[in-house]
Structure 1
Amino acid sequence: MKHLTPKQAWDYLQANPEALFVDVRMEIEYMYVGHPPGVVHIAWYEYPDMQPAPDRFAQQVLREAGSTGRPVLLLCRSGKRTLPAGETLEAAGFTEVINVLHGFEGDLDARFHRNTVNGWRFDGLPWEQL
């Protein structure tokens, strides 16, 4: 699995428009916290179970990607959920899986706030919100 900062991931997406960009957060995070435009939402786990379903996830990504040879970039809140999600895709045969470091909201700061240290929004990259 490759690891790119949000800015590197944005540049990669601009240079590789065929890549599939997947947001693995829960639906409520995707809808109300915001998300990059054009990202496909496929949750790694969902409320109320809060348990990953790796086979379901890999099948949904494959259905969206069309083949395991298509590059897939994964984004979550802070870059933690994308690691097991990416490992699942690699085990399912995906050949180019990219983790977006720091995720959409980034790491916690000393006051336990996000969006102040790093992440997609912190870097000023495009995003939208309902």
Structure 2
Amino acid sequence: MQSEHSPIAEVTPAETFQELTADPSARLVDVRTKAEWAYVGLPDVSSTPSREPVLLEWQVFPTMAVSDDFGQTLQSACPDKSTALYFICRSGARSLAAARLMSALGYERCFNVTDGFEGPPDAHGHRGTVAGWKASGLPWRQN
């Protein structure tokens, strides 16, 4: 079992989409907030065997306190610890923390999606144009 400080593999959004398409048991775990899902959008994995991302807040808006039951809730949603879990957030920090937790809880294949859904800000301070899921041209939807 990895510790919370064990390295977590980093994968690009394109690699993540490819793996979700190739591995029917793989799951995308979106750890952003309900507000982000509603106002920024969601990765659309409906064309993959995974069908829908697991939506589970790592930090709860508006306080941004780490969710006390994140690990337990994700274990209930994905009980097979050999399942490949691809964690995504806005830019890659929250998802890395979530991947480390689940790795420490015995999940064997945890991956962090580099640059997340929106990536870093561009020269004008706007996200979603430089890197990340949206900028990679991968499918996404607005709720």
- What TM bracket, shorter-length normalisation? over 0.9
Question: How much has 1:42 moved relative to structure 2?
Answer: 0.4
CA distance in 1 between counterparts of 2:128 and 2:31 reads: 18
Match of 2:58 among 26, 30, 44: 44
CA distance in 2 between counterparts of 1:104 and 1:94 reads: 23
CA distance in 2 between counterparts of 1:20 and 1:61 reads: 11
Match of 1:57 among 61, 70, 83: 70
SS in 1 for 2:59: coil
Indicate the residue corresponding to 2:36 in structure 1. Answer: 29
Question: How much has 1:81 moved relative to structure 2?
Answer: 0.8
Match of 1:105 among 118, 126, 134: 118
What do you get for the CA RMSD once the two structures are aligned?
1.1
**Aligned positions, number:** 129
SS in 2 for 1:83: helix
Structure with the higher strand share, 1 or 2: 2
The TM-score, its normalising length taken from structure 2, stands at 0.85
SS in 1 for 2:42: coil
Unaligned runs of 5+ in 2: 1-7, 45-51
The TM-score, its normalising length taken from structure 1, stands at 0.93
Question: How much has 1:110 moved relative to structure 2?
Answer: 2.3
Identical-residue share of aligned pairs (%):
39
Match of 2:14 among 7, 16, 30: 7
SS in 2 for 1:112: coil
